[in-house]
Amino acid sequence: EVQLVQSGAEVKEPGESLKISCKGSGYSFTSYWIGWVRQMPGKGLEWMGIIYPSDSDTRYSPSFQGQVTISADKSISTAYLQWSSLRASDTAIYYCARSDGGNWYDYWGQGTLVTVS
Amino acid sequence: DIVMTQSPDSLAVSLGERATIKCKSSQSVLYSSNNQNYLAWYQQKPGQPPKLLIYWASTRESGVPDRFSGSGSGTDFTLTISSLQAEDVAVYYCQQYYGTPQTFGRGTKVEIK
């Protein structure tokens, strides 16, 4: 069974750093892209970026370039999303999702709620 | 960026009736080399992650009920729920994967009338 399991909810203060994770199982982690999607409270879905864990090829949305870092450790089938200095506007649910060929997203993590206050 | 414009923002449909959601892209998402439209549809219920319904604009994901169908090409697309069920109450999003950044529509909330 394909699963993406994300790390738990976080409460942080502005200016703090954070790294959240997304662990894949039940499939070949290096054969699929992993994307990250933000959902601010009561709002829609925003595409942040995507990584191919096999070679760490990474693409960012211009809206998030320089604001976050996407990475992956294929040895432990885990992708990451990190911030060096959080802002209150980073408060949101962050989803990771699996993509075949960098196209649609067929499996999603349960989401990680990040609260910055 | 390719802008995805969904309409309406919300709609209320009686049980068993048809629900129709539109999605328009600011440029064509039809890739001429493979004649595929790089468009997907997702359903998101409260407190849950999105669920893939349709990809390549009209291919239903495995396990998705056949009352859900996608159509359209180029810049204009439609998601149709042929006979609305109570469990279909959700927000529906279109997504283009033709270009980077990938982009989503703002969502359409479907409720029961």
Interatomic CA distance for residues B111 and B15, integer angstroms: 10
Question: How confident is the model at residue B77, as a pLDDT?
Answer: 98
pLDDT reading at A102 higher than 90: no
Q: Per residue in B21-69, pLDDT tens?
A: 999 999 999 999 999 999 999 999 999 999 999 999 999 999 999 999 9
Does residue A100 surpass a pLDDT of 90?
A: no
Whose structure tokens read 């760490």? A56
A34-77 tens-digit pLDDT: 999 999 999 999 999 999 999 999 999 999 999 999 999 999 99
* pLDDT score, position A86: 98
* SS3 label, residue B98: coil
CA nearest to B40 within chain A: A104
For residue A68, give the nearest of A82, A52, A56, A50 by alpha carbon.
A82
Q: What span, in angstroms and rounded, lies between the C-alpha atoms of B7 and B29? A: 18
Return the DSSP state at A56.
Answer: T
Q: How many CA atoms lie within 13 A of A110 on its CB side?
A: 7
C-alpha dist (Å) from residue A112 to A15, A16, A63? 19, 17, 20
Q: How far is A99 from chain B (nearest CA, A)?
A: 10
Which candidate in B1, B53, B102 is best for mutational testing of the A interface (most A CBs within 10 A)?
A: B102
Interface residue B1 vs chain A (CB under 8 A): yes
Could A61 and B50 be called an inter-chain contact, meaning their C-beta atoms sit closer than 8 Å?
no
Place of tokens 């802002």: A87
* Interior angle at CA A62, CA B32 and CA A15, nearest 5: 155
What one-character-per-residue DSSP string does A70-98 give?
A: EEEEGGGTEEEEEESS--GGG-EEEEEEE
**Residues in a beta bridge with B43:** B51, B92
